Structure 1
Amino acid sequence: MSGKNKSAYPFYIIIGTLGCLVGLSQLNYRLSYKDFQFRKLDLLSDLRTDSASTNNQKLTAAGKGNSKLSGLDSSTGAANPHVANPDHAHDFMSYTGIMEYPSPVPGDSSAGMQHFFNALRELKTGKRRKVRIAYFGDSMIEGDLITGDLRDSLQHFFGGAGVGFVPVTSVVASFRTTITHTFSTDWKDYHYKNSPPSNITLGLSGHTFYPGGNSWVKYSPVKKPLLDKFQDISLLYGPVASGTVTINDKAYTLSGSETVNRLDLEQDTAQPSLMLRYSGGAMPFYGVCFENGNGVYVDNYSFRGISGVELGHLSAEMVRRMQQKRPYDLVVMHYGANVLFRPELTDYSWYERPMKKVMDSLRNDLPGTSFLIIGTADKSYRKADKYITAPGVPALLQVQHDLAASHGTAYWNLYAAMGGDCSMVKWVEGDTVMANKDYTHFNRTGAAKVGALLYKAIMNEYRLAQP
């Protein structure tokens, strides 16, 4: 043969071998001496998409993100309320929507977020004037971070204008951008951390303020949409036989024996700011509320350095009176940063026990009010040569989720919404910096994103809860 014909031998051998393999693959029998079976050869198996396999993958993906009630993909961040069906299809550690739980009390209309969503519907249809949210948290929300963006979004959709509750003094007044707030230095601030006398009742913010010799506080609106003027103003104060306060050069006599008393004012448009002076004797003040028209109001109750168990020090009578004077339809509990003080700690039973008592008390003192527990944000710490999620984060999320489930409240996992494992590293080191170098706290950009994520989760749930 010529060299050309010899060069074709390898090709003939390959073709012959493939032919034998294809022929053998058509045999469908089992050898008797071994548990072995020929199966048909599929030369395109790596390229062909098996329909059954594809369908199974789609069902699996859908099952991870769908509620048995809603049938919506989790990528939307929405979950139909689970109040009617406690058999959840969601993994609370990875789900980014709001999860709702049935109340342990039969017929409780505040289970999950039912009451809050009903209130929003009534607001939309003109059956009520205002819907209020009390947002409790630590330094993650101080300076109106997160709450300011949430408030703005809700007010643009549902109506309302105004910053809501503002305390008499604040350590972050100069940092806050939703109101201009200045005050004299002679106010005495009793709060969670300085062991107030037993005869002093702390306000809902965890503070009660007593004036000094010539105390004053000034509030001014800022040049931002929905925050540029004061209209409906309420001064909240404690029990007093008689006292005189001067507000924008007009004297008002204050009196009241209740734990929480309220003086309502209508702002003079010629005086955009509010200047309050008090030079009388001892009298407890809590703060001032700013609202403008019908709509949604979000009150920021931040307190630096606390874990949430401190709310157990609030007087039941004060909480009930506050609800009478300024009723809330939703209470948000946003804590975690100060619980994770030891990153590798994973036993949070010491935290769960007092928090159960806090939730029991608040649910009892605020009947008919919806509650939303927000799971901790991601927190990273340096181990070896890199930052990783603290082992305590998943453990604390479990405790927070269980508190929501056992008390019939709603739950939102901020850690999952951020992106889950090591997401804080990305928020700190990404192209758009959204958190500080402590790998714990958000900056303004990050806080705005969290506010937007929470607003989206609330609105998705609200729409799904429509009757």
Structure 2
Amino acid sequence: MKTWQITLYIWICIACLAVIGIIFPPNGVKIGKINLTFIHPSEVIKVEKHNKIDVDEIYQQNIQYLQNLHLQSMQDSITALKNFALTHASRVYFPNNDYHYFDKFFNKLDSSANKEPSIHIFHYGDSQIEMDRITGVIREQMQKQFGGYGPGIIPAIQPIPSFTVNQNYHGIANKYALYGDTNVRRAPHNKYGVLASFVHSPDFLQINFSTNNTAFEHAKKFNRVKLLIGNNTDTVLATLSTNGLDSTKIIYNINSGSNTIQWDLPSYTNSGTLSIKGSIDIYGISLESKTGVTIDNVPMRGAAGTFFSSINSEMMKYFYKNLNTQLIILQFGGNAMYSGITKKQIEYYAQNIGKQIKYFQNILPDVPILFIGPSDMSENVQGKMQTRHFLVEMINALRDTVINNGAAFWNTFEAMGGENSMVAWANMNPPLASPDYIHFSKRGADRIGEMLYESINNYYLLYKLEKNISNKDNILPQYLQHFKVVLYEMQ
């Protein structure tokens, strides 16, 4: 066969396929349980939207918002930050657009470096925050800025490895959790505690923990250890061993109540062993400093975040108060985006999230709540990875529900670039997202953490500027390029 004949044959085949694609029903043809589809010619030749997304530019615009502006005065700064609060893709959505929503929390942060006890921020989320991803970056930045050390609360048994803390145990430990598949034990009561899980030790349990070299610097050491316990019917002995020191605490019968045992160490350490003799429920171990701030990473694989309201509220109140909890972060929604979800199911899920917000508000009436919406998630549509159907509707429903219930909302989807941005993140070199087009890589999670921290910090800068402008010179020194330096001078 001659070359021109081969070429003609190929073009005839292409033309035939194009005609079939044009006349084939857009929704396909259903034959039994099989749905046959055919790609339209426009789908083959169109320019992919995600190819236009510049991930690096989006990242820089988020974390260097103020540095990219030519500001000459405090008033210029306030104007720029107010514009950020109203228009920027990485802004936080507030109830009634009130950007003062975090002001009381910021006031607590300002005094935390020199005031005991340290502030706790709980970051609950699904598998996006496993291994201390996202949380670790925010914690490190806040501990640099406001003081504090340690990774915060860890469970007695950690089933998922962490970049921050290494754990193992010896003895009998039965874990109960309110989330997870049917293989996870459920307790005969609702006293799950602040981690929505606990471990029951019937006799003896030894828990070894140490911070990893891969942890951020401020999370690598601690000088205060807290043991969250309850439900012991007999006297229990708890011994902390660290740096060659052994300190034993006697825990008397508290029946179904709750208690927190605390060890203050003479110096910082990066490891320890807890030996517990007696029957007891363990709700967590906090590795922290005496002052400053820490963020507790609480990953819940497979969870949609709709179960908190079923946890005993009195126990939650006790532990949150004892830990000086000043902010709740909830990061859920991805696991509710299952295949075939309907708008009605989205509405129902959003309403359920609203109930969880009310639950936390009843327990912590003066503590702000920040809900982090799901990131972009891709699915295969006719051979191409695209944003999941109804994801935008899910995010909008969550945003409206959250702010209407008096909490704040950060739109991960919008901040990372919007529609089809997950494909762009996955196509970066090195990749910022995993091949499943749902989860971030470690590098990508770090970027999301930095973007969220900088967004919150912009509101902190606005808080400080508005608080101090009446007492300070309105002209910024030319050599001060970063506003954090300005604020340290103002304090």
TM bucket normalised to smaller? 0.7 to 0.9
CA contact (8 A) 2:211 2:219 kept: yes
Partners of 1:229 and 1:399 lie apart in 2 by 41
Q: 1:246 aligns with which of 232, 236, 239?
A: 239
Identity percentage over the alignment?
A: 25
The equivalent of 1:62 in structure 2 is none
What is the RMSD computed on CA atoms of the aligned residues?
Answer: 2.6
Partners of 1:272 and 1:464 lie apart in 2 by 36
The equivalent of 1:72 in structure 2 is 80
The equivalent of 2:169 in structure 1 is 183
The equivalent of 2:141 in structure 1 is 153
Structure 1 127/268 Cα, relative in aligned 2: closer, same or farther at 3 Å? Answer: closer
Structure 1 451/270 Cα, relative in aligned 2: closer, same or farther at 3 Å? Answer: closer
How many residues are aligned here?
376
How far off is 1:402 after superposition? 1.3
Partners of 2:209 and 2:174 lie apart in 1 by 18
How far off is 1:98 after superposition? 1.3
Matches within 5 A, 1:313-392: 313-342=310-339, 345-347=342-344, 348-392=346-390
CA contact (8 A) 2:153 2:286 kept: yes
Matches within 5 A, 1:57-456: 71-72=79-80, 78-79=84-85, 90=87, 95-102=89-96, 112-123=101-112, 126=114, 130-172=118-160, 175-184=161-170, 186-193=172-179, 194=184, 196-199=186-189, 201-223=191-213, 225-241=217-233, 242-248=235-241, 249-255=246-252, 256=254, 259-267=257-265, 272-281=270-279, 283-342=280-339, 345-347=342-344, 348-456=346-454
Partners of 2:311 and 2:100 lie apart in 1 by 23
Partners of 1:127 and 1:243 lie apart in 2 by 31
What one-letter code is carried by the residue in structure 2 that aligns with 1:169? I
The equivalent of 2:72 in structure 1 is none
The equivalent of 1:33 in structure 2 is none
Task: Indicate the SS of the match to 1:203.
Answer: coil
Q: Give CA-to-partner distance per residue, 1:162-193, whole Å, 9 cap, x none.
A: 10111101211xx3121221123731011114
CA contact (8 A) 2:357 2:407 kept: no
Partners of 2:115 and 2:271 lie apart in 1 by 32
How far off is 1:200 after superposition? 5.3
The equivalent of 2:64 in structure 1 is none
Structure 1 279/127 Cα, relative in aligned 2: closer, same or farther at 3 Å? Answer: closer
> Higher Cα Rg: structure 1 or 2?
1
Structure 1 229/197 Cα, relative in aligned 2: closer, same or farther at 3 Å? Answer: closer
Task: Indicate the SS of the match to 2:207.
Answer: strand
Partners of 1:113 and 1:456 lie apart in 2 by 14
How far off is 1:342 after superposition? 1.7
The structure with the greater share of residues assigned to helix is: 2
Matches within 5 A, 1:9-48: none
How far off is 1:209 after superposition? 0.6
How far off is 1:289 after superposition? 0.6
Structure 1 259/268 Cα, relative in aligned 2: closer, same or farther at 3 Å? Answer: same
CA contact (8 A) 1:131 1:295 kept: yes
What one-letter code is carried by the residue in structure 2 that aligns with 1:163? P
Please identify runs of 4+ aligned residues in structure 1 that moved more than 6 A: none
Task: Indicate the SS of the match to 1:349.
Answer: helix
